[in-house]
Structure 1
């Protein structure tokens, strides 16, 4: 099956943005992964079931975030959206195990974006305009065509990579 021509630029942007994100994370250490850029930065902590989850919840905090949280979010969003695009539409945030170290975090992030990319490349051209084709319930998906969601996901990747780069820059200069 060939990729719909109007999806091709978004896939190219996704691929380039992901490659740049992974390049920017080269040399990342576990200490840096968990470093708090401010005393009350948003990070990950075990929930009641012992699974790492964002704390405080993103909509409750304008705080800076740890790289651990950002990388986990980037993996989570791809896996979840893919499930609600052409999977079982059953995943919940508690179904995924967010990583507790850099190596697993980068693998989780790669898996998330590969899974999302696979969901996109499985679509036919007429599906790109379908409102709600991605039925991900915790986002804009039910009200937008999936082509717009693909654009939004790329924007999220770029945005969160910029946050990771910023936190890395702060970490590198923390003693200056």
Structure 2
């Protein structure tokens, strides 16, 4: 299927942000920002779960219970991601790299499913990763699933309200092109947060 002309720049932006984050997470090098490649180590388990300030929200073994000001551990499996039903705590808890990467993976997987998949997956179906390698692999899988959904999109779908029925946002009331834009900004801003946390962790060790 030909890619609609107005989807092309959004898809290019998505690919750029995805690849840049993937390089940040896995190495062996990454773009410094000016086109120069610099060394980048793969994400470690210690860094993945690092809590830079007290009372972080993170992903945790289900056996240990939820973290400070959280009341549930989202997902299925041995690990879960800190959360609480609305209203959310104020001020918002600081979230770890693990929490942010898990959130990003979840929104990619679920939006793909609610666009071209079964349209049945929920947050409770997501398996939180307890280690860095599993989390990075899950992100790549989710990022690929969302890109595949975009490649199955024509001009009519871009204008269709509710083409994505993702239940945790305004997708059912939005034209799909707005959803595509929204996912891009989620990837851009959470990717930048993850990159900064990696920089802070490296500076801490020095």
TM-score between the two structures when normalised by the length of structure 1: 0.92
Q: Check if 1:147 corresponds to 2:174.
A: no
Q: Does the residue aligned with 1:174 lie in a helix, a strand or coil? A: helix
Task: Give the number of the structure with larger relative contact order, counting CA–CA contacts within 8 Å between residues 6 or more apart.
Answer: 1
Stretch deviating more after TM superposition (147-156 or 44-53) = 44-53
Contact 1:43–1:56 (CA under 8 A) maintained in structure 2: no
Q: Check if 1:22 corresponds to 2:52.
A: no
Structure 1's 56 and 92: CA in aligned 2 closer, same or farther, altered over 3 A?
closer
Task: Encode CA deviations 1:93-117: one digit per residue, 9 max, x unaligned.
Answer: 1112121111111110011111011
Q: Check if 1:37 corresponds to 2:52.
A: yes
Stretch deviating more after TM superposition (57-66 or 141-150) = 57-66
For residues 23-172 of structure 1, the aligned pairs below 5 Å read 23-25=23-25, 26=27, 27=41, 28-45=43-60, 46=62, 47=73, 50-57=77-84, 60-61=88-89, 62-172=92-202
Cα RMSD for the two superposed structures: 1.9
Unmatched tracts of structure 1, length 5 or more: none
Query: Which protein has the larger Cα radius of gyration, Structure 1 or Structure 2?
Result: 2
Q: Does the residue aligned with 1:19 lie in a helix, a strand or coil? A: helix
CA distance in 2, matches of 1:132, 1:90: 15
Unmatched tracts of structure 2, length 5 or more: 28-40, 63-72
Question: Which aligned runs of 4 or more in structure 1 are off by greater than 6 angstroms?
Answer: none
TM-score between the two structures when normalised by the length of structure 2: 0.79
Instruction: Report the alpha carbon displacement of residue 56 of structure 1 after superposing the two structures with TM.
Output: 3.5
Aligned length: 176
Contact 2:77–2:128 (CA under 8 A) maintained in structure 1: no
Contact 1:74–1:109 (CA under 8 A) maintained in structure 2: yes
Q: Which has the higher helix share?
A: 1
